[in-house]
Structure 1
């Protein structure tokens, strides 16, 4: 679901811009859980954004239940989420915190984020769209606690994205879109390469967990 010791304001793309954009194909990858994952990218508001898409036999509602399980990501995600806390859940709007343990061999700092996600589910269509909660939004105590316990961790300077699931004749079309700037000392080009490489696993993790349930 996934990235300055102080948050820097940055003009990130809107969800409407992301969904209306002309995404360009940049390749495909095979994944044991979902078969072919198509990878696309587009530059919006100066940020290189990425999309991973695939087709599965799992219903949209089941897939949405997985990505909305923000605390469960500690268990089912292979991305390295080691902490997660749902801070509020009201009317399909989730506010939460997650912490990403970045492998030491990368020489990069760990990442954390406070996000607000909206969800929708009409049966044949389901979606979760997230955007950042600046300085933790209304969760000041939780935000300061994370900053105190993880003083070297970095909060992304931009982090906007979505999961979209649409049932069609050939199955459920899964689409994961993300626009992010890593912050800290990681060159954006390296972060972009890592995002592109991990897209198949990001999509595959969700489908695998939905099947398990």
Structure 2
């Protein structure tokens, strides 16, 4: 699928926050401007999983086209500094992403493996997993070593329902206030800005 190679790059932002199978009991943390964010405790982790949902008033193909704009991706992905495609092989894609962080926190980077599948209803699901050893560590960055999540795009006539769900162990020392802020801001801002970019085209 042509879209697999570049769409996967958008998944890099997920790495700033493992097991989603243990994320349940979702509680709504923010529901504004057409974007709903829910959080869930994850057994054995001090970091919460997040789930963002929104309706984009555009067909799935148009959403996918915006996601394929690698050069412009960091304009709508929360705290994305840079990202690049490492490898594409069949339904698998590897990406490398660097993130912005406050001055008191060492910048994070991540290597992700994304598995893309298409449902019978035309939906697209991208499973996100960490693959930290794929590249040597970069000086000045803390490599994120635990990521699990997915993007799901579901066609609804001329519209697209988008779900973005992730849990991450960011590694190193991260202040609790920053972690708590991130799990709300990341899905909210990412989905809001993606929707704006798609609907304004």
Give the TM-score normalised by the residue count of structure 2: 0.77
Decide which moves more: 61-70 or 175-184.
61-70
**Aligned counterpart in structure 2 of residue 133 of structure 1, from 131, 137, 149:** 131
The separation in 2 between residues aligned to 1:189 and 1:25, in whole angstroms, is 18
The separation in 1 between residues aligned to 2:91 and 2:71, in whole angstroms, is 16
Q: Which runs of 5+ in 2 are unaligned?
A: 1-10
| Alignment-derived partner of residue 39 in structure 1 | 37
| Alignment-derived partner of residue 185 in structure 2 | 197
Residues paired across the two proteins, number: 184
Decide which moves more: 178-187 or 165-174.
165-174
The separation in 1 between residues aligned to 2:69 and 2:115, in whole angstroms, is 13
CA contact (8 A) 1:39 1:53 kept: yes
Secondary structure of residue in 1 paired with 2:154 = strand
CA contact (8 A) 2:152 2:164 kept: yes
Q: Which runs of 5+ in 1 are unaligned?
A: 4-11, 137-142
The separation in 2 between residues aligned to 1:161 and 1:70, in whole angstroms, is 20
Distance change >3 Å, CA 132–CA 65, structure 1 → 2 = farther
- 1:160 and 2:148 correspond: yes
Give the TM-score normalised by the residue count of structure 1: 0.73
Secondary structure of residue in 2 paired with 1:83 = strand
* TM-superposition CA deviations, 1:155-195 (whole Å, max 9, x none): 12311111111123694221110101111111356313322
| Alignment-derived partner of residue 5 in structure 2 | none
CA RMSD of aligned residues (A): 2.6
Could you tell me how far 1:81 is from its partner in structure 2? 2.2
Secondary structure of residue in 2 paired with 1:44 = coil
The separation in 2 between residues aligned to 1:66 and 1:119, in whole angstroms, is 17
